[in-house]
């Protein structure tokens, strides 16, 4: 059985390929995160790719959930584990994820055929397993676009289509010394009391798969408005805004409480703002001049 190790957001992942012909080439976005081995460290999770796996036992449907046009059918199993059926926007089944209740031991079966569908299924199985296995370890996967400036990462968050990627691009284009860390699903982790942002193998439509990290400088909720204005958000507003942006299962107590605890720790340590803006350079400068950490590296 072929094994590959990765480190994402400081956590060790172990991937096992049981079938001949399946290997790390299925997930090229993970290449910057590959390790030579585990060096005795216990992985956060182990995921086995076994295309012959199938489940025929009892299951209770939790729900059908859409994300970026894809569909995820989630089922609770008698042993409190989960089964997730992953389908593309055309509702074609691409893979099935079987996880124990903590998502530390998982198996994914990829439907034979199109590479894009197999890549989608394995990539998303890993993203879900990572988010839910790490949820009670002061780690959260957030839907956000992240720009880095002067050694700090700034998260722009908003519903899809609102303009968070546009705003990070305006920072990159107009404010010297900026670079993009991730454009869709970065990891934020509390390390020694400080929120740290990490690049990940998951970056939506933008191929930005960078194994880098930085202290969080601030979080900004983007809203489209006819003029540029910014205000600091209250803690209760911040939690209400960040919770929908976090990868979470609200019906799972361990996952939900872990995510809430991590978000509360983030809110208590950094500044969170709401930016109403136009898609122009003035909005980027207003945001940076208000939120940006100055005079520090």
pLDDT at 20: 81
Burial of 10 (0-12, 13-18, 19+ CB in 10 A): middle
Quote the Cα angle for 168-177-281, to 5°. 45
pLDDT at 297: 40
Q: At what angle do helices 281-291 and 164-174 cross, to 10 degrees?
A: 90
18 contacts 210 by C-beta, under 8 angstroms: no
Burial of 203 (0-12, 13-18, 19+ CB in 10 A): buried
Domain boundaries, the chain: 2-133, 139-291
pLDDT in 10s for each residue of the chain, 297 residues: 899 999 999 999 999 999 888 999 999 999 999 999 888 999 999 999 999 999 999 999 999 998 878 999 999 999 999 999 999 999 999 999 999 999 999 999 999 989 999 999 999 999 999 999 999 999 999 999 999 999 999 999 998 888 899 999 999 999 999 999 999 999 999 999 999 999 999 999 899 999 999 999 999 999 999 999 999 999 999 999 999 999 999 999 999 999 999 999 999 999 999 999 999 999 999 999 999 997 544
Polymer length of the chain? 297
Whole-angstrom distance, CA of residue 118 vs CA of residue 131: 20
For the chain, how big is the Rg over CA atoms in Å?
19
φ and ψ at residue 172, rounded to 5 degrees: -60, -40
pLDDT at 37: 86
pLDDT at 38: 85
Whole-angstrom distance, CA of residue 65 vs CA of residue 265: 28
Q: 3-class DSSP state for residue 288?
A: helix
Pick from 209, 203, 93, 85: which is nearest to 141 by CA?
203
Q: 3-class DSSP state for residue 182?
A: strand
Sign of CA dihedral 203, 280, 288, 176: positive
pLDDT at 295: 58
Whole-angstrom distance, CA of residue 277 vs CA of residue 168: 13
Pick from 110, 164, 106, 155: which is nearest to 283 by CA?
164
Dihedral angle over CA of 13, 34, 112, 57, nearest 10: 0
Q: 139-291: what fold?
A: Rossmann fold (3.40.50)
The DSSP secondary structure of 119-172, one letter per residue, reads HHHHHHHHHHHHHHHSTTTTEEEB--EEEEETTEEEEEE-STTSSHHHHHHHHH
């Amino acid at each position: 059985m072929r094994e590959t190790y990765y480190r994402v957001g400081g956590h060790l992942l172990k991937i096992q390929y049981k079938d001949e012909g399946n290997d790390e080439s299925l997930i090229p976005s993970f290449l910057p995160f590959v390790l030579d081995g585990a060096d005795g460290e216990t992985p956060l999770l182990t995921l086995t790719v076994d295309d012959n796996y199938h489940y025929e036992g009892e299951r209770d449907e939790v729900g059908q959930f859409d994300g970026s046009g894809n569909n995820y059918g989630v089922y609770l199993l008698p042993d409190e584990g989960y089964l997730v059926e992953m389908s593309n926007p055309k509702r074609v089944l691409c893979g099935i994820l079987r996880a124990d209740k903590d998502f530390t031991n998982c198996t994914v079966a990829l439907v034979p055929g199109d590479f894009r569908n197999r890549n989608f299924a394995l990539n998303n199985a890993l993203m879900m397993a990572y988010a839910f296995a790490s949820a009670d370890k002061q780690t959260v996967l957030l839907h956000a676009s992240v720009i880095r400036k002067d050694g700090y990462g700034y998260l722009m968050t908003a519903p899809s289509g609102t303009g968070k990627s546009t705003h990070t691009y305006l920072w990159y284009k107009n404010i010297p010394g900026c670079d993009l860390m991730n454009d869709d699903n970065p990891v934020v982790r509390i390390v020694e009391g400080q929120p740290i942002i990490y690049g990940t193998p998951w970056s939506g439509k933008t191929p930005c798969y960078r194994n880098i990290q930085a202290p969080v400088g601030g979080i900004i909720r983007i809203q489209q408005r006819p003029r540029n204005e910014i205000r600091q958000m209250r803690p209760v507003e911040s939690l209400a805004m960040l919770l929908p942006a976090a990868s979470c299962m609200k019906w799972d107590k361990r996952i939900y409480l872990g995510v809430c605890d991590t978000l509360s720790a983030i809110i208590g340590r950094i500044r969170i703002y709401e930016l109403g803006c136009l898609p122009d350079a003035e909005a980027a400068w207003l945001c940076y001049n208000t939120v940006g950490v100055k005079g520090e590296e």
